[in-house]
Amino acid sequence: MAHGKVTWQVWIRRFCQSGSLLLFLYIFLQAEYRPVNETGHFVKLFFQLDPLILISSWLSSHQVLSGLLFSLFTLGATVLIGRWFCGWICPFGALHNLFTSLRNQKAKAKLAVDGYSKGQKAKYYILVAILVGAVLGINLAGWLDPFSFFYRSMAVVVNPAVNDGVGSFFGLIYQADPGIGTHKVATISEPIYDFLRHHVLATTQPYFYGGVLIALLFLAVVFLNLYRARFWCRYICPLGALLAVAGKNPLVQIKRNEEACNNCRVCVIDCQGGADPDVKDGWKPSECFYCWNCQSSCPHKVISFVFHVPGGQK
């Protein structure tokens, strides 16, 4: 983030994002290593909050599972207060945000790429293709829905790699049996490995053949964040597109003090969605994740977010 004191709104958003990502990983482990009768409906939490799954399921089967009705809360809240779900709750978005923060580009380079671009319309075409496919009985949502994509990538790519890597690491320690003075490292590493085997790692090494394509796609969308902030969320995510349509005219909108603004464009440097917070009367609420970075980074504090009733004055 641009230099300056980080505001409390940004800290709360970071806390929510981190908690959501950790919760998703915890649910994933529960689903992978616990019997279904022990995990219950908790493992379906994020999928039940996903209105894209609700709509695509209804279009394809004309039926709706009762659990998916929770996604109406996500949709309704987005209509009222904007695309907050992408910036505060989505665990896949949190992962993209994490990798975006690793960019070492200078401010000038970020300004060149982080503003709004016409390519961001691509996610709307992807959304239309998914909905048309659902009508025709083709399940495209299962491939590009962010929770489905994230879960599949974790199961096929990340989980096997972590299990294999951790097992190999502790195996090398055990075989080499290194010591620090009179103390053996294995006396410490083995209890740790034993805990991981019983509570985190799989009982047998998971291998998934034919997952190379998924691995390449997952690595591509993750590392593209190093080029442009939250690349997946801006250009690909069909759920983001759906929420963007729903949150096109939210009650929470940006407010700029035009008289105090000197058009330094610092607010664009860490804008996650390319919402053009620097453009007079050109802010795009459908692309805004309400990350509050623009308000936090503004050196003159001319940006704020206010409740605005359509038709009234800000």
**Beta bridge partners of residue 256, listed in sequence order:** 303
Q: Tens place of pLDDT for every residue, the chain, 314 residues? A: 555 578 999 999 999 999 999 999 988 888 777 655 555 566 788 999 999 999 999 998 888 888 889 999 999 999 999 999 999 999 999 999 999 999 887 888 888 888 899 999 999 999 999 999 999 988 899 889 999 999 999 988 888 888 888 888 888 877 777 766 667 777 777 788 787 777 777 666 666 666 788 889 999 999 999 989 999 999 999 999 999 999 999 999 999 998 899 889 999 988 999 999 998 888 999 999 999 999 999 998 999 999 987 655 55
Nearest to 95 by CA among 151, 57, 139: 151
Nearest to 285 by CA among 247, 230, 257: 247
- Pairwise CA distance, residues 264 & 241, whole Å: 30
The continuous run of DSSP H or E covering 51 comes out as helix 51-61
Across the chain, the runs of DSSP E, i.e. the strands, are 179-180, 183-184, 252-256, 303-307
CA 48 to mean position of chain CA atoms: 16
Nearest to 6 by CA among 292, 254, 290, 252: 292
pTM for this model (two decimals)? 0.86
Spatial contact of 75 and 247, defined as CB atoms under 8 Å apart: no
